[in-house]
Amino acid sequence: MSTVPDRSEIDAQYRWDLEDIYADDEAWETAYESVSDRVDELGEYEGRVTADPGTLLELLELRESVLREVAKVTTYARLRSAEDTTNQTYQAMAARGSSLGSTASSAISYLEPELQELTSAEIEAFIDAEPALEAYEHYFEDVRRMKPHTRSAEVEEVLADLSEVTGAPSEIYSMLTNADMEYGTVESPDGEPVEITQANFTKLQTKPDREFRRDVHETFYDQWADVRNTVGTSLEKAVREHVTSAEIRGYDTAREAALDGSNVPPGVYDTLVDTVREDLDALHRHAELKRSALGVDELRSHDLYMSLTGDEGPDVEYEQAVEWVTEAVAPLGDAYQERMAEGLESRWVDVYENDGKRSGAFSSGTYDTQPFILMNYQDDIASLFTLAHELGHSMHSELAADAQPWHDASYDIFVAEIASTVNETLLTQHLLETLEDDELRTHVLDEYLERFRSTLFRQTMFADFEHRIHSRIEDDEALTPDVLDATYGDLKREFYAPATLEGGIEREWERIPHFYYDFYVYQYATGIAAAAAIVDRILETGEPAAADYRDMLAAGGSDYPLEVVRLAGIDMADSGPIESAIDVYRSYLDEIETLLEL
């Protein structure tokens, strides 16, 4: 039987090195107690934030000192929890860390309402009197920009105190799907039982035996059918919280509130959805090519992840993936390439799946630590691309932390998803240019097409779904599991029109954790569009464009996302990058159709 190993069975070189944060759990406990005591110091400045420039600077420096340590404490606990979601000790540590973060936010919640009492002229006078405050100019501008949506210090404190509670639907969903749920076991074509997990479901959907894929698909979604009321309720409560929070802050919609945090106009969201919907024929063509490649009369739900090559593709061991990804980023400069290689040697990556490990992949860390990447590497081309993706995030964090002070280093997801997909695009270009094996080149091309499909088209479909379900709550309409099924199913059928969808595919919304992060997913789609344009510039003009891109990464959060991206020569307020990216997709469809003689 295919089983998932215990964490202790995985060699240390394939596990991240959390000792970079704390030597052990005891050291974490000491740090937790120490910073817990310091959080109270933040409250001592309430009511006198703007008493004089010196007092304001003292508070800002104290806030940074405390919150940097809080970040380390919460990150260590969260990463330990992700290693094994069934480990109650680490779940308790993560809960304590989350609570501490909420307490710290509550303790400093008076800061921005008090700062907003200053006029622009008064802020300029403060900076003239205390030049060290000049480093906070963008922060001050952003705080003043949010004044219409900031409530009194008392209300802000209550909202901060409630953050643990309002985040409950997401946490409950995570524990249900990662720790408690089982996804069934099916019989492989050779008669062996195979356990389905969140991590391996997609890979199992690429197996060449069509009946096996159907069994996996139906078994997996049957498990979701058993919890649809629980998951439906948790998502409905999450959406309702997003809507209520927006109303409290004086926004017309939850989408407006979510995008305003990054100063992204709703028109950027609408441009993405409208442009992609206008070009669904490209996605439909991809689906038709799959049907033709598989030699079937109808493409069905369990065929959607299948390769155009008709098989799983070659194995790619982790060491080979590291080599290829490192080579691929050469156009970004020697310093970038060497920094990334050193990180891989320093155990940034937690590589393989283990029993209880959180599904998926992410890059994490703090301003004061190295990056940490969680993966569930499956020895395939998809995992190769995921490694490149997460390393893009990690390098973004490294360059931003090098160039920016703490308060300006944290970047928005809008920019983050460009950094990750630039690496994916460079990897594709590198492999297509250097691999001599036509079969392997075809698989690489197919993988990029799949990732493009799932990133630009699928994430835009998610964004459309998210907008629709929030609108229902805002219009005082019901959001039940039946409504969620129907809404999602209609969109899925529109986006994948050539396919016959069945086997519980309308319940796919249940397995998407990103819906708990309000209006988050659209940034994957804008990210890949911007990445395609940036890579084109780099490959056409070389180092000048690469330098512009590194400037974008190094800018961190020192400006608003649209302005940061413009440093790389790209305007995401326009439909041009999206249309250009879809043109690249079309050209790759042409190329693979020729290679496969479809």
**Which structure tokens are listed for 323?**
């080599």
Identify whether the C-beta of residue 522 lies closer than 8 Å to the C-beta of residue 535.
no
**Which structure tokens are listed for 427?**
């990897």
| Residue 410 DSSP one-character state | P
In angstroms, the CA 449 to CA 461 distance is: 17
Identify whether the C-beta of residue 463 lies closer than 8 Å to the C-beta of residue 522.
yes
pLDDT of res. 314: 86
Q: Which of 477, 501, 481 is nearest to 489 (CA)?
A: 501
pLDDT of res. 400: 98
State the architecture of 7-166 in CATH terms: Up-down Bundle (1.20)
Going 488 to 489 to 490 to 494, the CA torsion angle's sign is: positive
Q: Which residues contact 476 (CB under 8 A, 6 or more apart)?
A: none
Three-state secondary structure string covering 264-309: CCHHHHHHHHHHHHHCHHHHHHHHHHHHHHHCCCCEEHHHCCCCCC
In angstroms, the CA 49 to CA 67 distance is: 17
pLDDT of res. 415: 96
Identify whether the C-beta of residue 308 lies closer than 8 Å to the C-beta of residue 449.
yes
307 backbone dihedrals φ, ψ, rounded to 5°:
-70, 150
Q: Which of 336, 335, 328 is nearest to 426 (CA)?
A: 328
Identify whether the C-beta of residue 290 lies closer than 8 Å to the C-beta of residue 303.
yes
Identify whether the C-beta of residue 341 lies closer than 8 Å to the C-beta of residue 48.
no
Over its length of 598 residues, how does the chain's per-residue pLDDT go in tens digits?
458 899 999 999 999 999 999 999 999 999 999 999 999 999 999 999 999 999 999 999 999 999 999 999 999 999 999 999 999 999 999 999 999 999 999 999 999 999 999 999 999 999 999 999 999 999 999 999 999 998 887 888 888 888 878 889 999 999 999 889 999 999 999 999 999 998 899 989 989 999 999 999 999 999 999 999 999 999 999 999 999 999 999 999 999 999 999 999 999 999 999 999 999 999 999 999 999 999 999 999 999 999 898 766 789 999 999 999 999 999 999 999 999 999 999 999 999 999 999 988 999 999 999 999 999 999 989 899 999 999 999 999 999 999 999 999 999 999 999 999 999 999 999 999 999 888 888 999 998 999 899 999 999 999 999 999 999 999 999 999 999 999 999 999 999 999 999 999 999 999 999 999 999 999 999 999 999 999 999 999 999 999 999 999 999 999 999 999 999 999 999 999 999 999 999 999 998 998 888 7
CA dihedral 206, 208, 210, 212 (to 10 degrees): -80
Catalytic, 390? Answer yes
pLDDT of res. 152: 85
In angstroms, the CA 72 to CA 170 distance is: 22
Residue 2 three-state SS = strand
What's this model's pTM, rounded to 2 decimal places?
0.84
Identify whether the C-beta of residue 280 lies closer than 8 Å to the C-beta of residue 495.
yes
Point out the catalytic residue in the list 83, 390, 398, 474.
390
Taking only the tens place, the pLDDT of each residue in 529-582 is 999 999 999 999 999 999 999 999 999 999 999 999 999 999 999 999 999 999
Residue 19 three-state SS = helix
pLDDT of res. 1: 44
Angle at the Cα of 299 (from 294 to 301), degrees rounded to 5? 120
In what order do the strands lie in the sheet containing 362-364? Answer: 349-350, 372-374, 362-364
349-350 and 372-374 strand pairing: parallel
Q: Which of 578, 580, 598 is nearest to 589 (CA)?
A: 598
